[in-house]
């Protein structure tokens, strides 16, 4: 389903199940917000409630930080989705964020009025059509575009080299970005990357679902456990290794005490095992991932780019990590994405 179809189905089910009617419309151009998809007017009894809407297929906990930011900017605010799992509904209610799902279940607090209806059977989800921009190879290229939006006008061969993507995939990735509305042709030769915040969110979703597991080289623990707390002695031992996740967030914000050390490397895991004296352990607190970007995306040689650190924190769903992710977003990403 596209966004309009998700919204139409959710409103239809709401009316069918409860008698509450609603109409929606696009945002006026003067009030457009990249994180808001539509306005919706709910007719609940004699009172009309106008809300701003963000539409998702299936909201995930890592997206909560973004919903909280939108709810602070816009009130009332409603997440409309094809399906919302019970745990996610709980997180939204805890943060006073409204929602409406494809079965007609709704939670919305607006001024002195509370609308809360649960128990309707979820609508069965349809299998999504694969967009080549969000396959493993596509996600690597999109990561590059998010850091270098002007590069969408470079040649396919240049992009293949800079993103580490096969030349034959580049055209499919571009077609996927155009189909999803993230690339706008300016003329016959020039294009512009648009809706960067929405693209960032879609990239994080794909990173969580597809890319992160493919990059995983294994979990380990340190033979010398004291080095976990003296980790500054570790990072320079192997060339090209950078911190991600919690240790990178600690350096960026001075706000988080890491419980897990995430790192990215262009080398085989056994090189780090030898240099750091690591012991393989599926439950170990050292997580090694393959470094998938070719060029340095920013100037800190020992930390992954903030977008990746932000994503690493969000996908954990850990409240302390979500709080720190918000700090990273505001300090390093907000100006570029919004």
Residue that has been written with the tokens 């990403």 in this structure = 333
Do 108 and 43 fall into the same domain?
yes
Q: Which domain holds residue 166?
A: 132-194
Contacts of 213 by beta carbon, 8 Å cutoff, 6+ apart: none
User: Which residues does residue 183 pair with via DSSP β-bridges, in sequence order?
Assistant: 193
pLDDT at 96: 92
Do 14 and 96 fall into the same domain?
yes
Do 324 and 227 fall into the same domain?
yes
Q: What distance lies between CA 172 and its chain's CA centroid?
A: 22
Q: How confident is the model at residue 199 (pLDDT cuts 50, 70, 90)?
A: very high
Q: CA triplet 141, 336, 288: central angle to 5 degrees? A: 50
User: Does residue 187 lie within any of the structural domains?
Assistant: yes
Reply yes or no on whether the pLDDT at 115 is more than 60.
yes
Per-residue pLDDT reduced to its tens digit, 212-266: 999 999 999 999 999 898 888 888 778 889 999 999 999 999 989 999 999 999 9
Q: Which of 87, 117, 147 is the last residue of a domain?
A: 117
Nearest to 143 by CA among 267, 306, 317: 306
How many percent of the chain have pLDDT more than 90? Answer: 48
pLDDT at 234: 87
How many percent of the chain have pLDDT more than 70? Answer: 93
**Mean of all residue pLDDT scores within the chain:** 87
CATH number at residue 168: 1.10.10
User: Does residue 124 lie within any of the structural domains?
Assistant: no
Average pLDDT of 131-157? 92
Reply yes or no on whether the pLDDT at 30 is more than 50.
no
For residue 230, what is the DSSP state?
A: G
Cα separation, 328 vs 250, whole angstroms: 10
Average pLDDT of 133-139? 91
User: Does residue 127 lie within any of the structural domains?
Assistant: no
User: Does residue 232 lie within any of the structural domains?
Assistant: yes
* Paired sense of beta strands 98-101 and 106-110, if any: antiparallel
Do 137 and 221 fall into the same domain?
no
Cα separation, 320 vs 258, whole angstroms: 10
Cα separation, 301 vs 303, whole angstroms: 6
Average pLDDT of 265-274? 90
pLDDT at 299: 65
Number of structural domains (the chain) is 3
User: Does residue 201 lie within any of the structural domains?
Assistant: no
Do 189 and 219 fall into the same domain?
no
Do 258 and 329 fall into the same domain?
yes
Do 77 and 161 fall into the same domain?
no
CATH number at residue 318: 3.30.460
Q: How confident is the model at residue 85 (pLDDT cuts 50, 70, 90)?
A: confident
The answer to whether 59 and 67 have CB atoms below 8 angstroms apart is: yes
pLDDT at 123: 53
């Amino acid at each position: 389903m596209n966004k309009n179809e998700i919204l139409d189905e959710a409103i239809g089910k709401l009316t069918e199940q409860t008698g509450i009617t609603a109409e929606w419309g696009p945002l006026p151009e003067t009030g457009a917000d990249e994180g808001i998809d539509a306005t919706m007017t709910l007719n609940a009894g004699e009172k009309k409630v106008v809300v701003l809407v963000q539409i998702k297929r299936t909201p995930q906990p890592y997206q909560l930080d973004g919903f909280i930011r939108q709810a602070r900017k816009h009130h009332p605010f409603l997440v409309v989705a094809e399906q919302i799992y019970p745990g996610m509904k709980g997180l939204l209610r805890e943060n006073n964020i409204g929602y409406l799902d494809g079965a007609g279940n709704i939670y919305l607090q607006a001024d002195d009025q509370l609308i809360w209806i649960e128990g309707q059977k979820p609508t069965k989800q349809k299998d999504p059509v694969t967009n080549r921009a969000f396959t493993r190879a596509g996600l690597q290229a999109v990561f590059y575009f998010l850091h270098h939006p002007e590069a969408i006008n470079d040649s396919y061969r240049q992009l293949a080299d800079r993103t580490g993507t096969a030349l034959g995939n580049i055209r499919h990735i571009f077609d996927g970005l155009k189909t999803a509305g993230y690339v706008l042709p300016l003329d016959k030769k020039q294009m512009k990357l648009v809706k960067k915040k929405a693209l960032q969110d879609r990239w994080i979703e794909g990173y969580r679902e597809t890319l992160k597991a493919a990059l995983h080289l294994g979990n380990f623990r340190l033979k010398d456990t004291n080095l976990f707390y003296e980790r500054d002695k570790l990072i320079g031992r192997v060339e090209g290794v950078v911190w991600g996740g919690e240790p990178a967030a600690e350096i960026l914000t001075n706000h988080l005490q890491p419980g897990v050390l995430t790192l990215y490397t262009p080398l085989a895991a056994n090189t780090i095992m030898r240099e750091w004296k690591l012991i393989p352990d599926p439950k170990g607190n050292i997580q090694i991932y393959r470094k998938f970007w070719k060029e340095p995306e920013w100037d800190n040689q020992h930390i992954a780019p903030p977008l990746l650190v932000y994503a690493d924190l969000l996908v954990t769903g850990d409240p302390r990590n979500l709080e720190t992710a918000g700090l990273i977003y505001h300090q390093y990403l907000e100006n570029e994405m919004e």
